[in-house]
Amino acid sequence: MQVQCFTVGNFSVNTYLITDEATGLSAIIDTGETEELRNRLKALMPAPNIVMILLTHGHIDHAGSLALLQEEWDVPTYLPKKERVLFDTLPMQGSMFGMPHLNRPCGRVDHEIEDGFEIMLGQTQLKFISTPGHTPGQGCWYDANDIIVGDTLFAGSIGRTDFPMSDPRVMKESLRRLFELPGHLRVHSGHGPMTTLQTELQSNPFIGYIREEKGMPRGRSLRW
């Protein structure tokens, strides 16, 4: 599939338009919290054929403009089931981050999904792996070559685990599962540049414990 990144909004969040090359069908993954993504997608020529919206998690920068996007693309929308508790706080999340003007309506969720969920985007098989820890139900969407990870993993870092609904112990287990996936997968994060699972497995300082468990040199490693 083709992966296009749009960095938008107050938090420089990476949102994605993924497209099945065989059929031209596209999905939006994550939304930003402003009208920026909607406007940038509307300006694309030719117009993308958007048939679904997928969310990684319910933080305002990732799900805040869902309602705005659905005004333009009234398509089935998928949210990790365990993320509902956080998603439902969107009308207060701006205030929680000290920016009440960013409080947002929730938008519509059509399907609450769980670990192992699979869906076809045209001829591309998309899978969902649940990777909670940063939030209660965050997850990643992937095919044979690319994985969109939200705030689970960044180039050289990982998602914060000091938010009210975060859990570092759960995050450690989620990262273990994530690094069972093939190393060649290109990692498209919620913030910052693209990387691969293999690159992060070799050098990310937050996963020294995984290197050790796999019998690799622990390398530069931070405790958290």
Q: Which is nearer to Zn ion, 36 or 151 (CB)?
A: 151
Give the range of 32-40, 45-53, 88-96, 150-158 binding Zn ion by CB under 5 A.
150-158
Closest CA relative to residue 40, chosen from 64, 60, 15: 15
Q: Which is nearer to Zn ion, 73 or 154 (CB)?
A: 154
Q: Which is nearer to Zn ion, 25 or 29 (CB)?
A: 29
Q: Which is nearer to Zn ion, 59 or 81 (CB)?
A: 59
Distance of CA 197 to the CA centre of its chain: 15
Q: Are 201 and 211 in contact (CB under 8 A)?
A: yes
Q: Are 139 and 131 in contact (CB under 8 A)?
A: yes
Instruction: Tell me the C-alpha to C-alpha distance, in Å, between residue 164 and each of 85, 97, 130, 167, 206.
Output: 12, 11, 19, 9, 21
Per-residue tokens: 159: 């998602």
Is residue 30 near Zn ion by the rule CB under 5 A?
Answer: no
Closest CA relative to residue 128, chosen from 199, 198, 181: 181
Rounded to a whole number of angstroms, the minimum distance from the CB of residue 57 to Zn ion is 6
Q: Are 143 and 95 in contact (CB under 8 A)?
A: no
Task: Return the half-sphere exposure (C-beta side, CA atoms, 13 A cut-off) of residue 179.
Answer: 24
Give the range of 33-41, 87-95, 101-109, 148-156 binding Zn ion by CB under 5 A.
148-156
Give the range of 58-66, 113-121, 141-149, 181-189 binding Zn ion by CB under 5 A.
58-66
Is residue 59 near Zn ion by the rule CB under 5 A?
Answer: yes
Rounded to a whole number of angstroms, the minimum distance from the CB of residue 204 to Zn ion is 18
Rounded to a whole number of angstroms, the minimum distance from the CB of residue 44 to Zn ion is 26
Rounded to a whole number of angstroms, the minimum distance from the CB of residue 56 to Zn ion is 8
- Using CB under 5 A, pick the residue from 77, 151, 161, 187 that binds Zn ion: 151
Give the range of 27-35, 95-103, 143-151, 203-211 binding Zn ion by CB under 5 A.
143-151
Residue 167 CB neighbours (<10 A) = 16
The site that binds Zn ion (CB under 5 A) totals a number of residues, namely 2
Q: Which residues bind Zn ion (CB under 5 A)?
A: 59, 151
